[in-house]
Structure 1
Amino acid sequence: MEFVTTHQPVALGQINTQPELLKRGPVTIRNLQDTEEDCQFSGRLMVEAFERKFIHATSKNSLPKIQELFAKMSRRRPPLYYERDFIAEYNGERAGSCVLRYHGDKDLFPDRDQDMPPLGCSDSCGLACLNCAVSGEDIPRGKCYVDHIGVDARFRGRGIGKVLLDMAEIDAKRRGCKAIYLWVATSNRAQHLYERQGYVLMEQYSLCGLLWCQTGEKEFARMEKILM
């Protein structure tokens, strides 16, 4: 039998000092911390998970600066911000991350001008267009949105993505959500993981010319799971 440990979360909005939220075998889930190491790791996984989109929108040479952007975006935020962001460790090494968003989070955690790295005009415009394409949706009340999930290439195939999704469901349920959903490119093999987790295809969205130019993807699927 798989060993499972969960800890009662702290009150919403308070700093979480507990080292573990969920443990399954060698995989441990905790909250992101406001440290250079955690935020650099989270930023790197964000860029790796969406590398093709970032290269399409900017250039391969700009990836280090975009990684720095996401690392800086996670620094010096209010405590509630870090409750949305989870780090997976495998035998004590950072191995994956998952970020959730809820209704109203766009107002709680706005973009900050000081986070923007010194990109050229073309890359800045491309990044802005990509952001408009992927972040325009308002999250409905009573639903949790998996903003992104990623596993370090060294640790793939070890069940880390599944444990991160389990943690996402635990967090969504404690916030009173009735469903959890995500968007995934139909070309992404991660759809099979989501299906095994109980996510159901709700709709497929073929992108028009403008959105295709912004993201480099032709089709996305919205997948959702009802939380019991």
Structure 2
Amino acid sequence: MSLGAQSSVTPIIQQPQSSTEAPPGSVPVNGVTIRNLKDSQQDAEFAGRLKIEAFKGKYVYNITERKLPIAIKNLAANHRGQDQAFYNRTFVAELEGRPVGLLQLKFKDDKEIEKDDHVSELGCWHAWRYRCCIMGATDVDKNTKCYLDHISVDESARGKGVGKVLMQRTEYEARSRNCSNPEE
């Protein structure tokens, strides 16, 4: 082609966008960021407290309000010493650097270490009711590929978009593991 001939090539105005999107919450959205839960005492205590707060009515019914601190200790213990896969699918939402939300996804064939470190402190009757409460909350069809086990947002952070970013992260993580939706 000569220099004077017209070219049929369209010039590139901008670079094409990458097909890999950043996980929701990896950059702040209205001050909300999402990170993986850490195997630390601070994260474990936060997760235990927030789980009890989110399902307080069920726990009070089963073990009484007076025994909630024991349940929090036990749930905190369940968030320590797990396989790395547990931490890869459990997320903490932070609002301006403060943990305020929790999300846990489960995938088919996931394994967790169930710990009953403090259940005996509840007494026999309440320990039995506590275990029934936990088991009833995690009973899922074994053919399910993935599901949202629980999501909770601290009362002080509700209405600030934390739950929305957590749900966006749920969808992102499910798609990245070939689940078309989190209930699949």
TM-score, normalised by the number of residues in structure 1: 0.66
Q: Which runs of 5 or more structure 1 residues have no equivalent in the other structure?
A: 9-19, 182-223
Q: Does 1:154 align with 2:153?
A: no
In the aligned structure 1, how far is the partner of 2:169 from the partner of 2:65?
33
For the structure 1 residues 140 and 24, does the alpha-carbon distance in structure 2 shift closer, same or farther, using more than 3 Å as the test?
farther
8 Å CA contact 2:23, 2:169 repeated in 1: no
Correspondence for 2:56 = 51
Q: How does 1:80-99 map to 2 (within 5 A)?
A: 80-99=85-104
Match of 2:109 among 96, 104, 108: 104
Determine helix, strand or coil for the equivalent of 2:28: strand
Match of 2:28 among 6, 23, 29: 23
8 Å CA contact 1:58, 1:126 repeated in 2: yes
Q: How does 1:74-85 map to 2 (within 5 A)?
A: 74-85=79-90
Amino acid at match of 1:119: L
Correspondence for 2:170 = 168
- CA shift at 1:144, angstroms? 2.1
- CA shift at 1:139, angstroms? 4.2
Amino acid at match of 2:100: A
Amino acid at match of 1:33: K
Determine helix, strand or coil for the equivalent of 2:117: helix
Greater Cα radius of gyration, structure 1 or 2: 2
- CA shift at 1:140, angstroms? 2.7
- CA shift at 1:121, angstroms? 1.2
4+ long deviations beyond 4 Å: none
- CA shift at 1:130, angstroms? 1.7
Correspondence for 2:138 = 135
In the aligned structure 1, how far is the partner of 2:116 from the partner of 2:46?
22
For the structure 1 residues 59 and 80, does the alpha-carbon distance in structure 2 shift closer, same or farther, using more than 3 Å as the test?
same
Residues 36-81 of structure 1, C-alpha deviations (whole Å, 9 max, x = no match): 1111111110000000000111110111110111111010111111
Amino acid at match of 1:109: E
Q: Which runs of 5 or more structure 2 residues have no equivalent in the other structure?
A: 1-20
Determine helix, strand or coil for the equivalent of 2:178: coil
Q: Does 1:122 align with 2:138?
A: no
Question: By percentage of residues, which structure has more strand?
Answer: 1
Amino acid at match of 2:131: A
RMSD: 2.1
Correspondence for 2:22 = 6
Residues 173-212 of structure 1, C-alpha deviations (whole Å, 9 max, x = no match): 111112213xxxxxxxxxxxxxxxxxxxxxxxxxxxxxxx
Correspondence for 1:37 = 42
Q: Would you say how many aligned residue pairs link Structure 1 and Structure 2? A: 164
TM-score, normalised by the number of residues in structure 2: 0.81
8 Å CA contact 2:120, 2:127 repeated in 1: no
For the structure 1 residues 27 and 127, does the alpha-carbon distance in structure 2 shift closer, same or farther, using more than 3 Å as the test?
same
In the aligned structure 1, how far is the partner of 2:34 from the partner of 2:120?
30
Larger deviation: 86-95 or 108-117?
108-117
The structure whose RCO (Cα within 8 Å, separation 6+) is larger is 2
- CA shift at 1:7, angstroms? 5.3
Identity between Structure 1 and Structure 2 (%): 34
Amino acid at match of 1:63: L
